[in-house]
Structure 1
Amino acid sequence: MTKQITCFKAYDIRGELNEQLTEEVAYRIGYAFATVLTTSNVVVGGDMRLTSAPLKLALAAGLIDGGSKVTDIGQAGTEEIYFATKALKMDGGIEVTASHNPIDYNGMKLVKAEAIPISGDTGLNAIQQAAEALDTDYVEQRMAHYTNNQPIDADAFYHGKAHIIESLLQDTNMYKHGSALEEYVEHILTYVDKNNLRPLKLVANAGNGAAGKVIDAIESAFEKHNIPIEFVKVHHDPDPTFPNGIPNPLLPENRADTAQAVREHNADFGIAWDGDFDRCFLFDANGEFIEGYYIVGLLAQAFLDKDPGAKIIYDPRLYWNTEDIVTAAGGIPVKSKTGHAFIKERMRKEDAVYGGEMSAHHYFRDFAYCDTGMIPWLLVAELLCTKNQSLASMVEQRIAAYPSSGEINSKLKDADAALARVLDKYRPQAEAIDETDGIGLEFGNWRFNLRKSNTEPVIRLNVESKGDIALMEQKTKELLELIRAE
């Protein structure tokens, strides 16, 4: 008897708890991962949600029954799994996380050896099929074994069975705890010259504690290397009930605490992370949120200062500022379809030193071409010191040169009809058309990109202009009225 599993997405696994994602589903995924990829050693970790630990252990049970040894690095961010997969020479890695999704969700991010992402075309579909095909009687028998023959009940599992599974996993000699935290921290510090760093005060909002452990480890490394950077810690201790909201700084309502702390403590800048801290969001010394688009340009410039002529990958939603900076600095700008799997694949193909998305995902060649939320702010801290400028002063001219709307989402009954309305009006006037991802139209001194969501009836709009804020705002309003005219 097979089981339909609905939590597989294009690049990862995400689902509503107890409906789409359960311990049984996690076990199936682990077994399928081990058998489809024929792995011998897999590293697993999980974010700080209440459900991540039991799901991770059920996943580990499936991996072991599928023939893999498992190294569990405990509470960890997605980028720690990326790093550990490569550093520990694992055949694969899985992070249990729902990132910035609501509290009643969870999920998984999967990679192969060398932290190469797994998407639908590169193994995820095959893992789903194998997970669904696994015999239900067998799964129930194995889960009963790992839960000490108690019925599989989600609430009881969360509050009492996790330790039973862990004990039985350890009895197999196929499961062990491990850590790559110290090596990971030392690695990310190699991206800056420690001699360049002067005293700075940084606000660090760990997002209900998701990034707290790593911030503490970085703080210890700063002390070890005599790096004079001080942290003001906000929402630092892990609290899986999310008392300060879902860790998603893209939402304006989730920015106030970081901004206020920056101002109160007279900090040089502020940092906030999402739920698995593979994205970081920056605030200037006035507590003003800096759109990720402009950070891409800033980091591109930093890499080209050190590696002239290098290739820089960027996404097609907003790009005039990035192209201008990269070209002026003698680099080679390379446009890629939006999404981590596409960006990472293109970075490997081009051997690009850095890639950035306006959504605050930043990718680094020497970090297995993966994204990390820790290296970007370290590079920005070094820039503040070497250029002797504030973050605001480093981006204000770029914001003025290429003002942008940021991404604006519209939830619609019929996204296809909205897209057709916009194209009917604007496409005949366009001077250039870009279909790398969605549709991008240019009109001399302004442009926009419009993309449909793959998973919901949503249209995502980005508008930018060349030095004309009023024009950008006018066109944004005009487009939104047409998009939402249902």
Structure 2
Amino acid sequence: MNNQIDTLCTESWSCFKAYDIRGRVGEELNEQKAYAIARAYAEVVKPKQVVVGADIRLSSKAMKAAVCRGLVDHGVDVIDLGMSGTEEVYFAVQHWQLDGGIEITASHNPADYNGMKLVGRDARPIGENNGLSDIHKVAVQGHFDNCLPQGEKLTKGCLSEYVSYLVSFINPDNIKPLTIVTNAGNGAAGHAIDAIESQLASLGVPITFIKIHHEADGHFPNGVPNPMLPENRAATTQAVIEHQADFGLAWDGDFDRCFFFDEKGQFIEGYYIVGLLAEAFALRQQGAKVIHDPRLYWNTTDILASSGGQPILAKAGHTYIKQMMREHDAVYGGEMSAHHYFRDFAYCDSGMIPWLLVAELLCVKSMSLSEAVEKRILAYPSSGEINSHIAEPHKVLSKVKAHYSRDAVSIDESDGISIEFEKWRFNLRPSNTEPLVRLNVESRGCQSLMEEKTTELLSFLDR
């Protein structure tokens, strides 16, 4: 045991990020570290019962087993959810009123990565400012009490209850005949899609599903499930066109993010889906509070101004969004990265609720997805998120600020740097999970200006 402690103390723990744990398997994260993190989680959070799930990555099963061992050895009772998406862990914590949950996942990262998303009671996220730093410290030290009574481990699922709750977000009678392409990316989403399909069919909801890359396969034969990458969108686009579908959907590996394609097969930036859902909630509830991130938001704030909603700015990242939602009792929160959060889903993000709401909205309005967003895209054209590998991101941000601040209308540094001008604005921020700088640019009704400024900024980053 002492040798293990010495090894843990001397190894790199770069897998700890701002709001989760993520790293290359074998180099930054392994089963020994996973065990230590589970013990540290138990020591810091002091739970009695915890649910553990895992995505489909090849390392996830062994990593989950190590986490379960760590929890049980610390006297915690564990419910093993099996292969699941992150939101299934969130749901299970709330549904069973457990003390916490851990999902083994690296989401959209390359296949040789893995990680963990940690939550406490009520599915409250655990980030660096509310426990993750303490867990990091305890895990590195590796000093654990091995005389504790063993916890018990139970394998149990709640897929049926989870799907029934998802479907409760819509009125099934509003759904008209639809054909929807679903691309699970060979990640964890397939079983949830199948269960939703079965539930909707039992209610007589006329939706036909065209499933591609559906089977869970940790080898990711069609590429890592990351629809943010343009090269990963072609299969969904082709299937939508081939089957004349009403829209298409694609998910990342743990399906907490949902990406939309319109009936023409065109990818819809998550930014415009945020606006669509923000409007829907604001029209349902006058004065509804909606949380948005600083990367792109002119469209969202404009929509809320005209529909009676109240926009509230929060740092990007699920721990920050969820914290602000709880503080303000916001009904909905949206990030342009395709994370959508719902007060009635324990303030958590879901990759399944958004498309159910959008499907209902399109049917009620008798319009296509392209019709629902095209005016907003023209009003606020955006670059989408562009990632650049930068050795010293904070130095670059300082140079950008010095160069662009002279004529700026406003400058905000709450999350990276956001600089606003009369006709355009941009946000540049370091990634919290990867060695990247992320750029987003938008303008007021001028595609050419947005493109010009995007090119200009990218050129500046390359210097």
Band of TM-score, shorter chain: over 0.9
**CA distance in 1 between partners of 2:141 and 2:391 (Å):** 35
TM-superposed CA distance for 1:173, in Å, is: 7.2
Whether the 8 Å CA contact 1:421–1:483 is kept in 2: the answer is no
Question: CA separation in 2, counterparts of 1:306 and 1:123?
Answer: 36
Deviation at 1:207, TM superposition (A): 1.2
Q: Does 1:121 pair with 2:99?
A: no
1:252 pairs, out of 230, 234, 259, with 230
* Stretches (4+) displaced over 4 A: 454-457
1:135 positional shift: 4.4
2:44 is the alignment partner of 1:36: yes
Task: Give 1:322's aligned amino acid.
Answer: T
Greater CA drift, 431-440 or 292-301: 431-440
CA contact (8 A) 1:208 1:237 kept: yes
Distance in 2, Cα, partners of 1:314 & 1:428: 27
CA deviations 1:176-208 (Å, max 9, x no partner) are 111111111111111111111111000000111
Question: Does structure 2 conserve the Cα–Cα contact (< 8 Å) formed by 1:418 and 1:484?
Answer: no
Q: Could you say what the CA RMSD is over the residues aligned between the two structures, in angstroms?
A: 1.7
Letter of the structure 1 residue corresponding to residue 264 of structure 2: N
Query: 3-state SS of the aligned residue for 1:428?
Result: coil
- Asked whether the 8 Å contact 2:72–2:151 carries over to 1, the reply is no
Structure 1 match to 2:111 = 103
Amino acid at match of 1:351: D
1:271-321 Cα distance to aligned partner (Å, 9 max, x none): 000000000100001100000000000000111121121100000111100
2:274 to 296, 299, 302: 296
Aligned match of 1:158: none
Q: Conserved in 2, the CA contact under 8 Å of 1:41 and 1:92?
A: yes
**Structure 1 pair 192/214, CA: closer, same or farther in 2 (3 Å)?**
same
Matched, 1:369 2:347: yes
Aligned pairs for 1:23-422 (under 5 A) are 23-135=31-143, 174-422=152-400
- Give, as a single letter, the amino acid of the residue that structure 2 aligns with 1:257: A
**Aligned CA distance change for structure 1 residues 33 and 418 (closer, same or farther; 3 Å):** closer
Q: Are 2:183 and 2:214, in contact at CA under 8 Å, matched by a contact in 1?
A: yes
- Name the SS for the 1:429 alignment partner: coil
- Corresponding residue to 1:431 among 391, 409, 413: 409
Task: Determine the C-alpha separation between the residues in 2 that align with 1:459 and 1:21.
Answer: 23
Deviation at 1:77, TM superposition (A): 0.2
Amino acid at match of 1:306: R
CA distance in 2, matches of 1:335, 1:22: 37
1:473 corresponds to which of 448, 451, 454: 451
* Stretch deviating more after TM superposition (469-478 or 291-300): 469-478
- The one-letter amino acid paired with 1:89 is Q
Alpha carbons 1:269, 1:391 under 8 Å: kept: yes
Q: Which AA in structure 1 matches 2:114? A: N
Q: How far 1:244 moved relative to its partner?
A: 0.3
Distance of 2:35 and 2:434 partners within structure 1: 28
Contact 2:187 2:254 in 1 (8 A): no
Partner Cα distance (1:117, 1:417) in 2: 30
1:129/1:87 CA distance change after superposition, 3 Å: same
Q: Quick check: 2:58–2:218 contact (8 Å CA) kept in 1?
A: yes
Q: Is the 8 A contact 1:419 1:483 kept in 2?
A: no
Q: Secondary structure at the match of 1:201?
A: strand
Q: Percent identity?
A: 57
Partners in 1 of 2:30 and 2:393 — Cα distance? 32
Q: TM-score, normalised by structure 1?
A: 0.91
Equivalent pairs, count = 454
Q: Distance in 2 between matches of 1:351 and 1:32?
A: 31
Distance 1:129 1:422 in 2: 35
- Note the residue ranges of structure 1 that are not aligned, 5 or more in a row: 143-171
**Among candidates 15, 35, 48, match of residue 7 of structure 1:** 15
Q: Deviations over 1:315-356 (max 9, x none)?
A: 011110000001110011111111111000000000000000
CA deviation string 1:89-134 (max 9, x = no partner)? 1100000011111111111100001000001121111112222222
State the SS of the aligned residue for 2:406. Answer: helix
Distance in 2 separating the partners of 1:244 and 1:363: 28
Shift, 1:209, TM fit? 4.1
1:100–1:274 CA contact under 8 A, matched in 2:
yes
Q: Distance in 2 between matches of 1:475 and 1:22?
A: 43
- Whole-Å separation in 1 of the counterparts to 2:260 and 2:173: 23
